[in-house]
Amino acid sequence: MNIGESTVLLAIVVLSLFFAVILGYSVGYMSASRRINDLESQIQKFKDDLSRLNTSLESLSASTQNATVFVLERNISLTELYERVKNSIVVVRGLILRYDIFGRPYYVGQVQGSGFVYNFTGRMVIITNYHVVSTAVNITVTFANGNGYAAYLLGSDPYADLAVLSANAPENEYYPLEIASSSNLKVGDLVIAIGSPFGLTGSMSVGVVSALGRTITEETTGGYPIADVIQTTAPLNPGNSGGPLLNYDGQVVGITTAIVSGSQGISFAIPSNTILREIESLVTEGSYNKHPWLGVFGIDMTYEIAKAMNVNVTYGWLITKVVNGGPADKAGLRGGTTLVYIAGERITIGGDIIIAINDKRIVGIDDLSSYLEENTKPGQIINVTIIRGNEKLTLPVTLEARPPPS
């Protein structure tokens, strides 16, 4: 190869390398450019998301500020309310006593709940739940300052899960709470519970009234319903029982009583109207025996039950059994006649369906129990409207007092 050919070959190699570098750079540049564009798009998307998040936070902040304004307008705060009422709440404790086969006593454990101080016509008493003290002996109450005193049962009503105690404490220990009418409560109202869940004295929880006029049963009621109960979202746990449910003014509107096992945010309280109605009898007589009684058992109506009975009413309360010699039996109300399975449940159908009392529409057991408890008393005659077959009838029924627990 001569010098000229070598020069040409070298030039070709140099040019090839040059174009290869240019091509490689161009490919790399284009790839980097695309990557930069992708990053810029992601950055812009992040900015847009951040902008929306800021807008949401500003909206939430505005809502929070409005809530704060509401608190300030009421001239109160939850902190101030707690400080005002905390000395009125007590821990209630008692021992559970058993006897062996030789009649010798022994203790098997203790019970614990909450209570609150109330001034009944100048006499300081402590209100709690019946189920807290029903099986207890050697009852004591402990105030917020840690001072504890012996207490004894003044009166109780298992049908309302109420009990009233008297404690051997000096007058300066008592800071009574005011009890307001629960009739003024509405769904959505703020409520505050204070008690001793799991023994944690003076614990406060906040929620809203999630329903009114509920009906519940407890072991102490012998299957009879506790009527007109308040349902709330305030978190409750064992040990809260017997503590007050307060409104925003620090007044008692209920007494916390039950928690639904496995529930999420559902708890119950006996309404303050029940306390106001019974407190005199509990303190002066030791009991309350004025719960109105129809003498019937039943179940809420449903579309499926109506279809099985071939009736055209899907609401009301179906009577499945009438107690012999009870008020309903004397008035001629009829219970069920045929046992059937509806949606996998055994139901006795064929009985009368209660759809109204004194022209008040009855949708189910909640309406029935709440109306009777709030508006009637033993000895009163009520007009019960029923569906029998597809015939509408109204029968007068003379109410009686509910029998004692068996």
Catalytic residues: 131, 161, 241
| 194: β partners | 204
Q: What is the DSSP string of 141-153?
A: EE-TTS-EEEEEE
Q: How far apart are CA 235 and CA 132, in angstroms?
A: 19
Burial of 55 per CB tally in 10 Å (0-12, 13-18, 19+):
exposed
Which helix H or strand E contains 188, and what residues bound it? none
Q: How far apart are CA 122 and CA 120, in angstroms?
A: 5
Q: Is residue 177 within 8 Å of residue 247, measured between CB atoms? A: no
| HEC per residue, 320-347 | EEECCCCHHHHHCCCCCCEEEEECCEEE
Q: Between the CA of residue 233 and those of 198, 251, 378, what are the distances in Å?
A: 19, 18, 34
Residue type at 7 in one-letter notation:
T
How far, in Å, are 109, 135, 319, 334, 348 from residue 337 at the CA level? 47, 39, 10, 9, 6
Measured distance CA(163)–CA(342) in Å, rounded: 40
CA torsion, ordered 150, 156, 162, 166, to nearest 10 deg:
-30
Single-letter amino acid, residue 354 = I
Closest to 125 in 3D by CA, of 316, 259, 280? 280
